[in-house]
Amino acid sequence: MSKQLSLFLTLIVFSFQIQAQIPNPALVGYWHNWNDVSAPYIPIDQVDDRYNVIEVSFAIPQFGTDYRMEFIPDQVTPANFISQMQTLQSQGKKVLISIGGATAPVSLNNVVERDSFINSMTRILTNYGFDGMDIDLEGSSLALTGGTINAPIDLPVIHLVEAVKQIMDNYRINFNRKMLLTMAPETAFVQGGMSAFGSIWGAYLPVIHALRDSMDLLQVQLYNSGSMYGIDGGIYTQGTADFIVAMTEAVIQGFTTGGGTFAGLPASKVAVGLPACTMAAGGGFTDTATVSSAMRYLLGQGPAPGSYTLTNTAGYPGLGGMMTWSMNWDAIATCGGIYEYAENFEHIFGSTTTSIQENAFMQSPQLYPNPSTGDVFILIPENVKTGSRFLMMDTQGRTVLEERFAGSGRIQLHVKELNRGIYFWWMDGYTGKILLE
């Protein structure tokens, strides 16, 4: 084998190993690491199977320390918790540790606090084997006194970005893959930047901007919010279909603030965050029919449910999914139906039991089924140009299959005649591997 070919295969394998992907569509649920009379503790491996991203709540600062974070399972031993979490991971679900929450602010005012946060979060991620980290900082954690989205001046913002980047680097070294990263800010910290840029208003925007390439999902809390501006200049009230649609399109299309323009995110990186039932939040609960009508309009599958009109008339069929606070609230019959939120998600997006939805927009080409005993299909995202080559290679680097993308969105690969085993593929700079059984 030539050195060039060996290097190419090494790069393919390395690229595949470090990639990590959040499910699309994602049903994200926060999980309580405590027992509550109204929303009882649920063993983490016994949550509803439709939840494919589980956010463990919470890692919090140890009292009296310089933001040394800790996570201690409440009802089971650490070893039992790890075993339960590994059961979920073996089913293809992603389990992330969420930091902060409403009652545990994290404000990294100096490098000592930053480094303490980095070291302790790296230790938690490594010791437990979480798939990633969720940033759920609220209250006094972040505030702006000046600067811009592109050039913040406030140390807690700057240090948080630096910390997350270093934690991600540490994770890659420890696990040889990308750490998943999600964020769940309140609306004032994001869309609130349209009405003001200072204090909490827009305070998350510099963080989102700095980490946009690493972030897998932004799930703004569309509750406990009050009213907010949309990008059309209208004012929309929580608990309505218009609020869901307007707030979601704002983070996709982007908007202008007193601190500069916030460039939008791909729809695949945006999820709609809502309470599971009336008791789960102080305000902003939205009934299932209203949620369904808003989501179908966002996905390009239905008419406008209110007065807000999407800028993109085709909608966003690749929308990242839905998030809820919380799975524990969703599980109880005294606050809506049992797993009413998960059931509504399933009605909106269809069954999530298949590994890839054919109508879901993907960021990179996706092969399925994988492993496969017969022919394989490849889904092509919109950013791949017509005429691009698809190459499939064996472990010796020999091309065994070549196709040209003709613009249909899906290619059927006739691989039944190939020997069973592992193959690598390449298309438009994306790489991966597939197992033929």
**437 catalytic residue (yes or no):** no
Considering the candidates 138, 162, 249, 340, report the single residue annotated as catalytic.
138
User: SS3 sequence, the chain?
Assistant: CCHHHHHHHHHHHHHHHHCCCCCCCEEEEEEECCCCCCCCCCCHHHCCCCCCEEEEEEEEECCCCCCCEECCCCCCCHHHHHHHHHHHHHCCCEEEEEEEECCCCCCCCCHHHHHHHHHHHHHHHHHHCCCEEEEEECCCCCCECCCCCCCCCCHHHHHHHHHHHHHHHHHHHHHCCCCEEEECCEHHHCHHHHCCCEECECCCHHHHHHCCCCCCEECCECCCCCEEECCCCCEEECCCHHHHHHHHHHHHHEEEECCEEEECCCHHHEEEEEECCHHHCCCCCCCHHHHHHHHHHHCCCCCCCCCCCCCCCCCCCCCCEEEEECHHHHCCCCCCCCCHHHHHHHHHHCCCCCCCCCCCCCCCCEEECCCECCCEEEECCCCCCCCCEEEEECCCCCEEEEEECCCCCEEEECCCCCCCEEEEEEECCEEEEEEEC
Which amino acids are annotated catalytic? 138
